[in-house]
Structure formats: structure tokens, C-alpha cells
Amino acid sequence: MKMVKKHILIVPGDGIGQEVTAVGKKVLEKIAAKFGHEFTYDEALIGHEAIEATGDPLPAETLAKMKASDAVLFGAVGHPKYDNDPSAKVRPEQGLLRMRKELGLYANLRPIKLFDELLGASSIKPEILKGADILFFRELTGDIYFGEKGRKNNGDTAYDVAEYSRYEVERIGRKAFDAAMTRKKHLVSVDKANVLESSRLWREVIQKLALEYPEVTVEYQFVDATAMLLIKDPKRFDVVVTANLFGDILTDEASQIAGSMGMLASASIGDGTGVYEPIHGSAHDITGKGLANPLASILSAALLLDISFGLKKESETIINAVDALLKKGFRTRDIADASTPANMILGTEAIGEEILKLI
């Protein structure tokens, strides 16, 4: 068995990011001990906590540490204080967006997989859900998120430009096609080509790329139709590739296929260090109460081991532990239902302890 030495940066960020990332780190420590790997750790600030400490949501020191590490386990950013203050010039989210750009994290992988035990946790009927398994590729460094934005007409008109280059579409498209080749060879490319020029370029590039992957069946959908089909028939999807904003919205919707946002992990990859994080946010309404579901952070650690370190067996060990935990009947509040006995509903740390035992 190969033994690896790796340096991992822990960036918990804001709100429940702190609580769930602490558990994710413990899981990494446990895996290292079990399999004889040597992981070293450091921590860095981002988001609201970084603004409070330094005035900058992505301090230079944080970025330097990210670039120098083998992988980043990330929590969440955000603070309610800014949400209702449209005039705020510095915002926690700017730290996240700059990180994505600076690290060249153009591909955001969001696997939507339903653990059988959670069939009842979703608001979608079990017979519609059973067997759903989707891998989203959300483009992460372009689109309306990063295009020119501003105000005109004395501030009475605002604009955000959605822009894509051929190169940007091709590199995310290629990642999605490659993944489809290892799965059911079915790819849905989502755009709004009936309206948007950037979407017409998107479609043109994917069509051209499809010629290189004759074994992959490609379906082109408009984003409004995808939003409907995800709920109507989630099993018809295998790999989905889409632009930054569409991917942001569709994956929150798709999280309901997995029962809860608290279950979904993501990997952001590109040119250098990969960043692994839950798709949920900072959830200030439950921060500090020990209620947050740490499974998304734990599953993010599993993605980190697999994608950045190539440690498949270690990654599977974590996923199997999550499966076993759910089979034993343990739940956090967000994935419990009326039939869950009160003593089986655990808090953040207690769920973490059970996972460590199962590993």
C-alpha cells in the first residue's frame, strides 16, 4: 500500500463553516492514522472573519498558503450583516470568488447521490428518486459572475455582463465528457441558447467537442426545462455541464434529490490546488448551536482524498462510513423525519464521533 505525505490547508470561514470543517478535519486525521499517511495541516482566514481581522475577505497570506498546499478543505463564507446592505463595498463572498479566480478553479464538481436510507428525507416521492445519481460540472470562473458590472444613469441602472470564451467552455466541457466516459456515457449540456449569445457559443463549442466523444450521447437543454426535468425525473440525468450561474441555481435545486443541502459535497478543480467544500452556506440561523450536518464536509474530505491525492480506497472508506451511519439510523435534524426516534437525532460533533468509530 502506498503511503503519502501531504499538506492540507483548513479554511473554515464563517458561520457553521467552523463547526463542520472541524469534523471534516478529524475525519482526515483518522484516515491518515488508519492508512499510515502523513498529513500536515495549517489554517487560514477567509470571508467575514477575515474582513474583521484584516479588512480583506481574502488576505494575501491566505492565498499564499492555499497555493502552497496540496489541497484545501473549505467551510463557507457569508454573514447576514451584508445580505441586507446592498451598499457594502467589501463582502465576504468576494473572498470566495477571488479565490476561485486566483487558483484557476474553473471546474466545480457537484455529485448528487442519494443514500438509500434518505429516500424519505426528500420532499420528492421515493419512487421518482430511487437510483438518482447525477454529476454536475458547473463552470466556476466565468459568466455573469466575473463579467463587467456597474451602474449607469446616475446609478439608476445596473448591469452585469455574462461572457464566455471558446477556451473557457472547451476546458469545462472536456472535463464533463471525460467524466461521462467513466459513467453512463450520457451528457446533458444546459444553456439558454434560445436567448443568450454566450449560450449560443456554449452550445457551438459543446457540439464540436461531442465529435471527439462519439460514444457519449449528448442532450442539449434550456435551463428552464432542466429545472423542471430535475424534479420530474431525476433518473434521466447522468453528467450535466453548465455555466456558472445556471449551475449555482440548479445544484441547490438538485440538493433536494439527495435529501438535504447538508449532504452535498463539492470539488473545485483547475490549474493548481483543489478546494473541497460543502455546497451549503454559512447558515447563521443555526451557527454555534451544534446542529449543523457535518456530512457534507466529511464527504468533501472524501472527494479531496480521491481527486487531489488519488486515494480511492481511503475515499470509499469515508463514503461507506456515512452509509453505515445512516443505516444505523443516526440522523442530524435536517435529514430526520417524523419516524426518527429523538435519541437518534445527533448534533454536529456527535455525528462526527460516530463516523470516526465507523472508519
Cβ closest to ligand IPM, residue 118 vs residue 279: 279
Q: Which three cell numbers stand for residue 316?
A: 470509499
**Interface region with Mn ion, contact rule CB under 5 A, candidates 35-43, 101-109, 242-250, 282-290:** 242-250
**Beta partners for residue 277, in sequence order:** 266
Which amino acid makes up residue 7?
H
Q: What is the total residue count of the chain?
A: 359
252 catalytically annotated: yes
Closest CB to Mn ion among residues 219, 248: 248
Could you say whether residue 248 binds ligand IPM (CB under 6 A)?
yes
- Strand, helix or coil at 330? coil
Beta bridge partners of 109: 137, 267
- Residue 217: phi and psi, rounded to 5, are -80, 120
Answer yes or no: 116 catalytic: no
- Active-site residue, from 178, 224, 285, 337: 224
167 is known as an active-site residue: no
The answer for residues whose C-beta is within 8 angstroms of residue 154's C-beta and 6 or more apart is none
Cβ proximity to ligand IPM: between 24 and 78 the closer is: 78
The entry of ligand IPM, Mn ion, none near residue 16 (CB within 5 to 8 angstroms by kind) is none
Name the catalytic one among 145, 164, 213, 276: 145
Among 170, 248, 323, 354, binds Mn ion (CB under 5 A): 248
Of the residues 93, 163, 323, 354, which one makes contact with ligand IPM according to CB under 6 A: 93
Check if the beta carbon of residue 75 is closer than 8 Å to that of residue 297: yes
Q: Judge whether 125 counts as a catalytic residue.
A: no
**Which of residues 101 and 203 has its CB atom nearest to Mn ion in the complex?**
101
Asked if 102 interacts with Mn ion (CB under 5 A), we say no
Q: Is 160 a catalytic residue?
A: no
Q: What is the per-residue DSSP string for 62-79?
A: HHHHHHHSSEEEEEE---
Give me the helices (H) in 153-238, please: 166-181, 197-210, 223-232
The smaller minimum CB distance to Mn ion, of residues 59 and 281, is found at: 281
Binding of residue 96 to ligand IPM (CB under 6 A) = yes
Contact 132, 114 (CB under 8 A): yes
Side-chain-side CA neighbours of residue 89 (13 Å): 2
Strand-pairing partners, residue 149, are 160
Binding site for ligand IPM (CB under 6 A): 78, 93, 96, 248, 279, 281
Binding site for Mn ion (CB under 5 A): 248
Could you give the residue numbers annotated as active site? Answer: 145, 192, 224, 248, 252
